[in-house]
Amino acid sequence: MEMTEGVELCFPQLLNSSCRKPQSDGMLVMILLNFISLLTAALNLLIIISISHFRQLHSPTNLLILSLAVSDFLVGLLLMPVESLLTETCWFLGDLMCSLYRVLDCIITTSSSGNMVLISIDRYLVICDPLHYNNIVTLDNTKICVCLFWIFSVLYSIFILMDSLINPHLQNSCYGECVIVFHWIAGSVDLVITIIAPILIIIILYMRIFVVAVSQARATRTHIASVTQQHPVGITAKKSEMKAAGTLGVVVVVFLICLCPLYVSAFTVQSTSRILETWLYYSNSCLNPLIYAFFYPWFRKSMKLIVTFKILQPDSCDMTIL
């Protein structure tokens, strides 16, 4: 490695084997990144507490939101702080810890994509097959699906990054670096399983939901007078489900917007743009609870009860939230 005047090395004692320290982006950038990390963890923790604590929120759909919130919470708690540090300093924890961190990164990001797919499937069933929804999508079935997918995320991440776990020292070109280099076959498989397939499934399901929703809206407008008189409860329930589908549709669209730039340039070497794209993807974890706060009155109400410590009262779990 050619030495340059005034260049700081991560490990000066190693001379030509050491990476150069990243150029500082300034204190203001670090404060902003840490604030986003803290906000992401705090907001998603509120969602986790809300759905876990209040019995009225124990539904299959909310369980999927809870699983997504766990992924987003881990992004804010673990991934964001480490990535913000890597923009300012070197990796000092060794090659093995680097590989383990990248496995954790893969588990969390894979689970996020999977949770979006499960949410899309849930909305598809409730809108397109409402007669069988309650029989197919029970709370127990949803718990099993969520647990199985988290197990799959762990096993898949270990499998796809097995080489880096066995030979962690071969991944980094110099000391102080923490990257994962995929073989082109493994990289292609990961791209298909974690990105292309989920995106296609989500788009196809929501296109179908949109078509069914439009047809149902037209039928409702045509028979609004007679239907409203005979089945007012059914109309209210259907509107509620459509609103929930619309809200979760916004969550899915925002997820796709934040995700696509990172993987469009997955095989480029422009490190600066990759850093921005990574943080755009991570910022989706902060946007999700903000979307819930905007669209879901139950989240705003439960948030007030949590921050005012009213959930510590006896029988607070049976409070009316919906």
What mean pLDDT is reported for the chain?
83
- The rounded distance, in Å, linking the Cα atoms of 195 and 189 is 10
What tokens appear for 207 in the block?
């296109």
* pLDDT, position 302: 93
More confident of the two residues 221 and 54: 54
* pLDDT, position 16: 75
Is residue 223's pLDDT more than 80? no
pLDDT band at residue 305 under the 50/70/90 scheme: very high
Is residue 233's pLDDT more than 50? no
Is residue 232's pLDDT more than 60? no
Is residue 228's pLDDT more than 70? no
Is residue 3's pLDDT more than 50? no
More confident of the two residues 86 and 115: 115
Which of 59, 83, 151, 81 shows the shortest CA–CA distance to 111?
151
Average pLDDT over residues 187-200: 84
More confident of the two residues 81 and 239: 81
Percent of the chain with pLDDT over 90: 34
- The rounded distance, in Å, linking the Cα atoms of 44 and 289 is 6
Is residue 311's pLDDT more than 60? yes
* pLDDT, position 25: 66
The number of angstroms, rounded, from the C-alpha of 84 to the middle of its chain's C-alpha atoms is 18
Return the CATH superfamily for domain 12-223+231-318: Rhodopsin 7-helix transmembrane proteins (1.20.1070.10)
pLDDT band at residue 1 under the 50/70/90 scheme: very low
Is residue 247's pLDDT more than 90? no
* pLDDT, position 214: 74
Average pLDDT over residues 253-266: 75
Across 67-81, 160-174, 193-207, 272-286, the highest mean pLDDT is recorded for 67-81
* pLDDT, position 271: 47
Q: Dump pLDDT digits (tens) for 23-74.
A: 766 678 888 889 999 999 999 999 999 999 999 999 999 999 999 999 999 9
- The rounded distance, in Å, linking the Cα atoms of 201 and 100 is 30
Across 186-190, 196-200, 220-224, 294-298, least confident range? 220-224
Yes or no: say if 171 and 164 are a contact pair by the CB < 8 Å rule: yes
* pLDDT, position 260: 74
pLDDT band at residue 2 under the 50/70/90 scheme: very low
> For the chain, what are the domain ranges?
12-223+231-318
pLDDT band at residue 172 under the 50/70/90 scheme: confident
Which of 134, 129, 128, 139 shows the shortest CA–CA distance to 60?
139
Mark 235-251 as b/e (b = at least 16 C-beta within 10 Å).
Answer: eeebeebbebbebbbbb
More confident of the two residues 17 and 243: 17
